[in-house]
Amino acid sequence: MASDKTSSGEDFRSSRVIRVVFLALLLDLLGFTLILPLLPSILDHYSQTGDSVYQSLQSIVDWFRGTVGVPQETKYNSVFFGGLIGSLYSFLQFLSSPIIGALSDEYGRKPMLLLTTVGLIGSYILWAFSHSFSIFLLSRVVGGLCKGNVSLCTAIVADLPCPKARSKGMAMIGVAFSLGFTLGPLMGAYFALKLKDAEMFYQGPAMLAVLFSLGDLIFILLMLPETLQKDSKESSESSGVPQSGDFLNPVALFNFTAVTRTENPPSEQKMKNLKMLGLVYFTYLFLFSGLEFTLSFLTHQRFQFTSMQQGKMFFFIGITMALIQGGYARRIRPGHQIQTVSVAIISLIPAFLLIGIAWNLTLFYSGLFLFSFAAAIVVPCLSTQVSGHGSANQKGTVMGILRSLGALARALGPIVASSVYWLAGAELCFITTSVFFIIPLILLSRLKRQKEE
Amino acid residing at 201: F
Least confident of 30-34, 74-78, 356-360: 74-78
The larger pLDDT score, comparing residue 105 to residue 243, is at 105
Q: How far apart are CA 400 and CA 406, in angstroms?
A: 10
Mean pLDDT of 158-176: 89
Mean pLDDT of 86-110: 90
User: For the chain, what is the mean pLDDT?
Assistant: 86
Mean pLDDT of 80-98: 86
pLDDT band for 405, please (50, 70, 90 cuts): very high
Q: Kindly give the residue spans of alpha helices, DSSP state H, lying in 49-162.
A: 52-68, 74-107, 109-128, 133-146, 149-158
Following DSSP, what letter does each residue of 308-375 receive, concatenated? HHHHHHHHHHHHHHHHHHHHTGGGPPTT-HHHHHHHHHHHHHHHHHHHHH--SHHHHHHHHHHHHHHH
Q: Are 325 and 380 in contact (CB under 8 A)?
A: yes
Q: For 72, phi and psi rounded to 5 degrees?
A: -80, 80
Closest listed residue to residue 105, CA positions, set 360, 398, 350: 398
pLDDT at 109: 93
Q: What is the pLDDT of residues 289-320, one digit of tens each?
A: 998 888 888 888 889 887 678 778 888 998 99
Burial category of 414 from C-beta neighbours within 10 Å (exposed 0-12, middle 13-18, buried 19 and up): buried
pLDDT at 231: 55
Highest mean pLDDT out of 299-313, 321-335, 401-415: 401-415
Rounded to two decimals, the pTM is 0.88
Mean pLDDT of 202-210: 91
Number of Cβ atoms within 10 Å of the Cβ of 143: 23
Mean pLDDT of 30-43: 85
The answer on pLDDT for 236 being more than 60 is no
CB hemisphere CA count around 434 (13 angstroms): 22
Angle, helices 361-387/395-424, rounded to nearest 10 degrees: 150
Q: What is the pLDDT of residues 427-441, one digit of tens each?
A: 999 999 999 999 999
Percentage of residues of the chain with pLDDT beyond 70: 91
Q: Which long-range contacts (CB under 8 A, 24 or more apart) does 264-272 make?
A: 264/239, 264/391, 266/389, 266/390, 266/391, 266/394, 269/450, 269/453, 270/389, 272/450
Q: Are 172 and 328 in contact (CB under 8 A)?
A: no
The larger pLDDT score, comparing residue 447 to residue 196, is at 447
Q: How far apart are CA 253 and CA 420, in angstroms?
A: 27
Q: How far apart are CA 165 and CA 142, in angstroms?
A: 33
Q: How far apart are CA 449 and CA 453, in angstroms?
A: 6
pLDDT at 18: 93
Q: Which whole-number Å values give the CA distances from 74 to 62, 80, 420, 447, in the listed order?
A: 11, 10, 20, 46
Q: Domain ranges in the chain?
A: 11-230+246-255+264-452
pLDDT at 234: 45
Closest listed residue to residue 375, CA positions, set 295, 299, 290, 318: 318
The answer on pLDDT for 237 being more than 60 is no
Secondary structure letter of residue 34 according to DSSP: T
Amino acid residing at 291: L
Least confident of 159-163, 204-208, 331-335, 360-364: 331-335
pLDDT at 344: 95
User: How far is CA 87 from its chain centroid?
Assistant: 12
Classified by CATH at the fold level, domain 11-230+246-255+264-452 comes out as: Growth Hormone; Chain: A; (1.20.1250)
User: How far is CA 405 from its chain centroid?
Assistant: 10
pLDDT at 424: 86
Q: What is the pLDDT of residues 341-387, one digit of tens each?
A: 999 999 999 999 999 999 999 999 999 999 999 999 999 999 989 98
Secondary structure letter of residue 132 according to DSSP: S
Mean pLDDT of 280-293: 94
The answer on pLDDT for 230 being more than 60 is no
**Which sign does the torsion angle of CA 196, 201, 203, 205 carry?**
positive
pLDDT at 304: 86
Q: Are 224 and 27 in contact (CB under 8 A)?
A: no
Least confident of 3-7, 46-50, 170-174, 352-356: 3-7
Number of Cβ atoms within 10 Å of the Cβ of 312: 12
H or E element in which residue 406 lies: helix 395-424
pLDDT at 7: 58
Q: How far apart are CA 124 and CA 126, in angstroms?
A: 5
